[in-house]
């Protein structure tokens, strides 16, 4: 099993803030898995954008542009 970069307790807090009265371990773990997949995709795109601009440093603008496909609001 792959170790996680995000804490499980943060997932419980996110679900509680969204209005859940009770949160199962399975739902918190699944939310963590999904968020990590999305974050990994955004990070890879941001690195590609920085590389394309001949930079080694990933800037906030790279991350913002890379996250556009995931913005629904």
- pLDDT at residue number 7: 94
pLDDT digits (tens, 9 = 90+) for 35-62: 999 999 999 999 999 999 999 999 999 9
Helix (H), strand (E) counts: the chain? 3, 0
> Which pTM does this prediction carry?
0.85
d(C-alpha 36, C-alpha 48), whole Å: 18
pLDDT digits (tens, 9 = 90+) for 13-42: 999 999 999 999 999 999 999 999 999 999
Range 66-69 contact pairs with CB under 8 angstroms and sequence separation of 24 or more: 66/42, 67/42
> Which two structure tokens, joined as six digits, stand for 31?
């939310």
The CATH code of domain 29-72 reads 1.10.20.10
Count the Cβ atoms, other than its own, within 10 Å of residue 11.
Answer: 22
């Amino acid at each position: 099993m792959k170790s996680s970069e995000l804490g499980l307790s943060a997932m419980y807090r996110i679900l509680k803030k969204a209005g859940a009265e009770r949160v199962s371990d399975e739902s918190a773990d699944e939310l963590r898995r999904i968020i990590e997949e999305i974050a990994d995709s955004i990070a890879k795109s941001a690195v590609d954008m920085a590389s394309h601009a001949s930079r080694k440093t990933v800037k906030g603008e790279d991350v913002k542009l890379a996250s556009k496909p995931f913005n629904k609001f």
